[in-house]
Amino acid sequence: MLRIAMLSKWHVHAEGYARDAVNTGKVQITAVWDENPERGKEWADRLGADFESDLDKLLAREDIDAVICDTPTTLHEEVLIKAANAGKHIFTEKALATTVEGCKKIADAIEKNGVTFTISYPQLFNSAMKLIKSYIDSGKLGKVTTVRIRNAHSGVSNGWLPEYWFDEAAAGGGAMMDLGCHPMYQLAALCGKPKRISGMFNAPLGSKVDENAVSIIEFENGIIGISETGFDSFYSPYRLEVYGTDGTIIGESGKIQVKTRETAEISNEPIVPKCEEADESPLIKFINACIDGTGTPDGLGLDMATALTELLENAYISDKTNTTVTL
């Protein structure tokens, strides 16, 4: 049985992580810490776990093997370094940190202490991503020139996001720092090493952080990646588009259509290919890796975590300075 401590209920996914972990039958949640003690104690009572207001005392407990971190993003550096130094395996919500420098400090502590690390990139191993990656790697799309990914919802326009979500000092940003993480890490996985980035963010409904955001990235291989996100969309299906010299893939809410030179010889209409099943979630991969002693799961380690922060950090710099940032 893997004994886990939940570190904060700040993030909206924290409740789901706790539920999914317990539902594996492989996890016992032994303790909770929260920077908001009142919220943390209430949650610990519901989980049937101890509440500990002192993070250092919690991390010193011998009945904790691993932690799930859902603190404000700007607290990740402090909290994760302490967890690593205490020898606890780490599962963390994205983004790892708001700066590359912060990521490096966290990585140093994790590598020094040899703990298993996993970042939550749930869109990295879904059926659409697996199919798109296989088409790119096979060369059936020819030279890929453009990849566009959109992920948006109505959290501001329909008023269902918590008020603290708009505190930049805690969240580190707005829509691009939250929902925009998913298109960003998907672009990093599909397109390789970035060369330069431009960000354009605004808040048409008046939030204190970006509500509507687009980042454009040129990668070293010539691909232009477009990451779109927002909190103001009444209807916005998750959409992935890949354009190449010999083929195009359009994916929307799990439905995939492909047209290549090869398929055009058979039909002028796009085909709907059979997709593989999605992989296990990052959280399940983490739990199994800790129990089996297999180390950080592929694609969910420190390199990918830092690659996301590099894009995010420089997208915000670009927006604030009205410049294109060379990486």
Contacts of 316 (CB under 8 A, 6+ apart): 173, 176, 177, 199, 201
pLDDT digits (tens, 9 = 90+) for 65-101: 999 999 999 999 999 999 999 999 999 999 999 999 9
At 155, is the pLDDT very low, low, confident or very high (cuts 50, 70, 90)? very high
**How far apart, in Å, are the Cα atoms of 284 and each of 17, 86, 95, 314?**
10, 23, 19, 31
Planar angle of CA 167, 67, 123, nearest 5 degrees: 65
At 253, is the pLDDT very low, low, confident or very high (cuts 50, 70, 90)? confident
Backbone φ and ψ for 308, nearest 5 degrees, come out as -65, -50
Kindly report the CATH number that applies to the domain delimited by 126-278+309-326: 3.30.360.10
The number of C-alpha atoms within 13 Å of 290 and in the hemisphere containing its C-beta is 26
The domain ranges of the chain are 2-115, 126-278+309-326
**How far apart, in Å, are the Cα atoms of 160 and each of 41, 153, 155, 157?**
24, 10, 5, 8
Query: Residue 17: what residue type?
Result: Y
Residue 276's pLDDT is: 75
Chain Cα centroid distance, residue 257: 25
Chain Cα centroid distance, residue 294: 22
Tokens 């916005």 sit at which residue? 236
Residue 190's pLDDT is: 96
Of the listed ranges 100-109, 119-128, 211-220, 269-278, the one predicted with least confidence: 269-278
What is residue 16's three-state secondary structure? helix
Query: Residue 197: what residue type?
Result: I
The two domains 2-115 and 126-278+309-326 share their CATH topology (first three levels equal): no
**pLDDT surpasses 80 at 164:** yes
What is residue 60's three-state secondary structure? coil
More confident residue, 189 or 263: 189
Residue 170's pLDDT is: 94
Nearest to 32 by CA among 60, 8, 59, 56: 8
**Partners of 4 in the beta sheet?**
29, 66
Share of the chain above pLDDT 90, in %: 92
Superfamily classification of domain 2-115: NAD(P)-binding Rossmann-like Domain (3.40.50.720)
Residue 277's pLDDT is: 80
Chain Cα centroid distance, residue 137: 23
